[in-house]
Structure 1
Amino acid sequence: MPNPRIEPLKRVLAIEPDDDVAWFGLGKAYMEDANFEEAAKALRQCITVKPTYSAAYYALAQSLQKLNRVEECRQVSDQGIDVSTKNGDAMVTKNLEALKSTLPA
């Protein structure tokens, strides 16, 4: 059974396609369903709408890691570390660095 938050978030985005919080929520809902392909699409859109959304980089990197898209995960992690450092989001920076350290060389 799909996450009950998915359809309401899709309706919000149909009305307001630039709602970064709704894109992030949709991505996280897909992650909860282990639908990492759709999660990655939603989270990438979140970053497109709001390039400074630190937490979206971490969630996207997690989704890419689950999809075994290692190089893409590494790139997103690097971008996220840059953004989160500029934003002063120390926890996101720490989480991205930890995730990146688990990636194969």
Structure 2
Amino acid sequence: MLDSLEKMLAKGVDNSLLRFGLGKGYLDLGEFARAAEHFQRCVELDPKYSAAWKLLGKAHQGQGDLPAARQAWEQGLEAARAHGDKQAEKEMTVFLKKLDRHP
């Protein structure tokens, strides 16, 4: 699946959904830096995409960059609240609380 998404990107297709798919694929493979790159582009294209903010934080966390993870989740909380995305809001609140307990 990643190959076909990468081919679409190479052909000039670039949108938040494509970037989310690429980010999720790389995150699932444990390729946190590549995942973060795609999620970052996703939220640049669509700053209201709360699920992308959530996974961007996970990608940063996977790289050990906890300040960047915190920043992504805080921005994601704003996006989730603005859209009434209660599930994403709950999850990111939990992630931030865990960071506070384990700085």
TM-score scaled by length of structure 2: 0.92
SS of match in other structure, 1:102: helix
Amino acid paired to 1:76: A
Matched, 1:13 2:24: no
SS of match in other structure, 1:34: coil
CA distance in 1, matches of 2:61, 2:95: 9
1:52-87 Cα offsets, whole Å, 9 max, x none, are 111000010111111110111111111000011001
Q: 1:50 maps to what in 2? A: 46
Q: 1:80 maps to what in 2? A: 76
Deviation at 1:6, TM superposition (A): 1.3
Amino acid paired to 2:98: T
CA distance in 2, matches of 1:97, 1:80: 10
Mapping 1:60-71, distance limit 5 Å:
60-71=56-67
Deviation at 1:32, TM superposition (A): 1.0
- Structure 1 runs of 4+ aligned residues shifted over 2 Å read none
Amino acid paired to 1:38: R
RMSD of aligned residue pairs (Cα, Å): 0.9
CA distance in 1, matches of 2:43, 2:7: 19
SS of match in other structure, 2:33: helix
Amino acid paired to 1:16: V
Matched, 1:99 2:95: yes
User: Which one has the bigger helix percentage?
Assistant: 2
**Count of residue pairs the alignment pairs up:** 100
Q: Could you tell me which runs of 5 or more consecutive residues in structure 1 were left unpaired when the two chains were aligned.
A: none
TM-score scaled by length of structure 1: 0.90
Deviation at 1:12, TM superposition (A): 1.6
